[in-house]
Structure 1
Amino acid sequence: MSKLTEGMEQWKKEIEQWSHRVIEFLQQIPPPQLYAACAVLLLTTTLLLLFQLFKRTKSNTIVLTGLSGSGKTVLFYQLRDGSSHQGTVTSMEPNEDTFVLHSESTKKGKVKPIHVADVPGHSRLRPKLEEFLPQAAGIVFVVDALDFLSNCRAVSEYLYDILTKSTVVKKKIPVLICCNKTDKVTAHTKEFIRKQLEKEIDKLRTSRSAISEADVTNDFTLGVPGEAFAFSQCYNKVTVAEASGLTGEISPVEQFIREHVKP
């Protein structure tokens, strides 16, 4: 008999001996106490598994979206590198990366990295947004504050679609409406943009309420019936802020990120 076989036999005997000892020990425990111990063990195991699952699924993804040309990619680079990377072109594929915010790169101690996904704003590419929403801890909806009025309807329609998506509503994903390019003198203020968006969405919800329920199975309605629409009526938290990706004035965006992805 080889040494390996002898070792296996010895190991098998030891396992059998330990098994007998465990069985004898359990037989000495009164049934009520044994049942209680098993229940405690089962409950503890379940709680540990749930805790691990919660830790594993807690998202650190921030989604940047909005119409093409709103400045999403410039904002992405400012968050990552502290640079606008002037000369960026309209994205045709999601631009994503995991990194520590540039403003926090010199901080001492542990700083939690974030995963940022810059989703193309072209109407034909917007379905890609669906890939990121299940993992989203927050959505930054970027609006061009310079050309806002000419794009107001299109911006409102896209924002309406996001706010009524079942994933966004059920997970109560917070949304930051980021009024970008506010460093320009002719840029509209966040107050003006918020009011105009609320008016347009109010019109949209009225027109779309005529659509049959079969066509909006996965969507939710917005607002309170009989009242003018306001973002405060949304299922999830919606805030509006001003920023400038070009000049690096993006602290409201960074604050939003850290509010929902803790360091």
Structure 2
Amino acid sequence: MDVDKMELVKAQIEPFLRQGEAYVRRVEDLVRQIPPTQIYIAVGAVLFTTILLLLIRAFKHKISNTIVLTGLSGGGKTVLFYQLRDGSSHQGTVTSMEPNEGLFVLNSETSKKGKIKAVHLVDVPGHSRLRPKLDEYLPRAAGIVFVVDAVEFLPNCRAASEYLYDILTKANVVKRKIPLLILCNKVDKVTAHTKEFIRKQLEKEIDKLRTSRKAVSDADISNEFTLGVTGEAFSFSQCVNKVTVAEAAGLTGEILPLEQFIRERVKP
């Protein structure tokens, strides 16, 4: 009985097998009739299209819309975050203990017509114990904004310089040449220091740090790079990544330099 069933199945399958063989032979005949030059052109076109699509995909993947706000606590990062998001100062905010994060069109651009690219803005807490969170965002950052309190700058100059030094020597920042804006906030106050003064003081402090840290071996700071030029006083112009200095007043909404920096990094 089993043998009869097998013979029946075989008889039913054989016509389909013959049709398949005939189809394969027809395809082979057609391929043989195509000139080799046309085959090469077709294969080349497929390869070119594949490579082009892969390149486009890789390029899109590299384009980031993430801007990171960082700096010491009390500098006004959270106020700047809300000014960018909805145009309010949120004066009731306190020192952030978790990153403020949002994807939005800048408030100053909401009335513009046409499609405008949203910005992924991250406000990283400035507390020393929370700074490692910065490393989570650097691999996809298009720009870094280091916020400095222009009023309370001198008492915090050393601490700000150390934090800035650590950022500028991080592998992700150096290898990807992430642009950095030193934003001197609260310049609307009478006692605020100018951006020129702040820049010079930061450069002096970082120069001292650079000298003192030369004794640390590469094994101890394997994720860091050397800053500046040997034998010369440090200046931000020596950095691999572009470093600029600007002024802002978060509480009064005077943040145009910040908005310009963001839009240079994240195109509309």
TM-score after normalising by structure 2:
0.89
Q: What SS does the aligned partner of 2:145 have?
A: strand
Give 1:127's aligned residue. Answer: 132
- For 2:52 and 2:37, locate their aligned partners in 1 and report how far apart those are by CA, in whole Å: 23
Q: What SS does the aligned partner of 1:216 have?
A: coil
Instruction: Select which of 224, 248, 251 maps to 1:219.
Output: 224
- For 1:90 and 1:25, locate their aligned partners in 2 and report how far apart those are by CA, in whole Å: 74
Give 2:99's aligned residue. Answer: 94
Give 2:109's aligned residue. Answer: 104
- For 1:240 and 1:15, locate their aligned partners in 2 and report how far apart those are by CA, in whole Å: 73
Give 2:207's aligned residue. Answer: 202
Number of residues of Structure 1 aligned to a counterpart in Structure 2: 252
**Cα drift, residue 52 of structure 1:** 1.9
Deviations 1:179-198 (A, max 9, x none): 00000000000000000000
**Cα drift, residue 42 of structure 1:** 1.1
- For 2:100 and 2:224, locate their aligned partners in 1 and report how far apart those are by CA, in whole Å: 27
- For 2:244 and 2:135, locate their aligned partners in 1 and report how far apart those are by CA, in whole Å: 22
- Over aligned residue pairs, what C-alpha RMSD do you find? 2.1
**Cα drift, residue 32 of structure 1:** 4.8
Tell whether 2:245 aligns with 1:250: no
Kindly provide the amino acid, as one letter, of the partner of residue 91 in structure 2: Q
Instruction: Select which of 13, 29, 33 maps to 1:28.
Output: 33
Q: What SS does the aligned partner of 1:39 have?
A: helix
Task: Flag the 1:145–1:37 CA change in 2: closer, same or farther, 3 A.
Answer: same
- For 2:251 and 2:24, locate their aligned partners in 1 and report how far apart those are by CA, in whole Å: 70
Task: Flag the 1:145–1:39 CA change in 2: closer, same or farther, 3 A.
Answer: same
Q: Among the aligned pairs, what percent are the same residue? A: 75
Instruction: Select which of 226, 229, 237 maps to 2:242.
Output: 237
Q: What SS does the aligned partner of 1:186 have?
A: coil
Where in structure 2 are there 5+ consecutive unaligned residues?
1-18
- For 1:15 and 1:54, locate their aligned partners in 2 and report how far apart those are by CA, in whole Å: 44
**Cα drift, residue 210 of structure 1:** 0.6
**Cα drift, residue 24 of structure 1:** 3.9
Equivalent residues in 2 for 1:52-201, closer than 5 Å: 52-201=57-206
**Cα drift, residue 27 of structure 1:** 2.6
Deviations 1:69-112 (A, max 9, x none): 11000000000000101110111111100000000000011111
Deviations 1:102-160 (A, max 9, x none): 00000011111000000001000000000100110000000000000000000000000
Q: What SS does the aligned partner of 2:220 have?
A: helix
- For 1:166 and 1:21, locate their aligned partners in 2 and report how far apart those are by CA, in whole Å: 59
Task: Flag the 1:68–1:34 CA change in 2: closer, same or farther, 3 A.
Answer: same
**Cα drift, residue 18 of structure 1:** 8.0
- Structure with bigger gyration radius: 2
Q: What SS does the aligned partner of 2:146 have?
A: strand
- For 1:179 and 1:243, locate their aligned partners in 2 and report how far apart those are by CA, in whole Å: 6
Kindly provide the amino acid, as one letter, of the partner of residue 105 in structure 1: T
Kindly provide the amino acid, as one letter, of the partner of residue 45 in structure 1: T
Kindly provide the amino acid, as one letter, of the partner of residue 159 in structure 2: A
Kindly provide the amino acid, as one letter, of the partner of residue 200 in structure 2: K
Q: What SS does the aligned partner of 1:209 have?
A: helix
Q: What SS does the aligned partner of 1:229 have?
A: coil
- For 2:212 and 2:140, locate their aligned partners in 1 and report how far apart those are by CA, in whole Å: 31
